[in-house]
A = this chain, B = another copy of it.
């Protein structure tokens, strides 16, 4: 990974299809794997695991395994992950406002 600049650095950590969404849902607190997955209904098994694994590797979330059967696993934001909160909320907010303002203009190229 080549990080020419902070902007790219940040995008490389959270700039994929599912990462921001997963992080966003963890803002309210720890969630069991299955619950978190259901919050992102369209995500596949594979992408879910891959996404949380990468977020964990990058130190943005942590994973706690309870030694029970059937398995129980909880994910939550680390301190580092929590520092993304205002960024995540702003990404969400910008999208919301932008969609709103599209309804007031006739620009709807999307």
Contacts and interface: CB of A to CB of B under 8 A. Distances in A.
Which has the most chain B C-beta neighbours within 10 Å: A3, A24, A94, A99? Answer: A94
B9 A98 contact: yes
Nearest to A59: B107
Nearest to A19: B11
Interface string A44-85: 000000000000011100000000000000000000100110
Given A21-B8, A58-B109, A59-B107, A87 B80 contact: no
A4 interface: yes
B7 A95 contact: yes
A35 interface: no
26 contacts: A3-B99, A5-B21, A5-B92, A6-B91, A6-B92, A6-B95, A7-B24, A7-B95, A8-B20, A8-B21, A8-B95, A9-B95, A10-B92, A10-B98, A11-B15, A11-B17, A11-B91, A15-B15, A58-B110, A59-B109, A80-B101, A83-B94, A83-B98, A84-B94, A87-B90, A87-B94
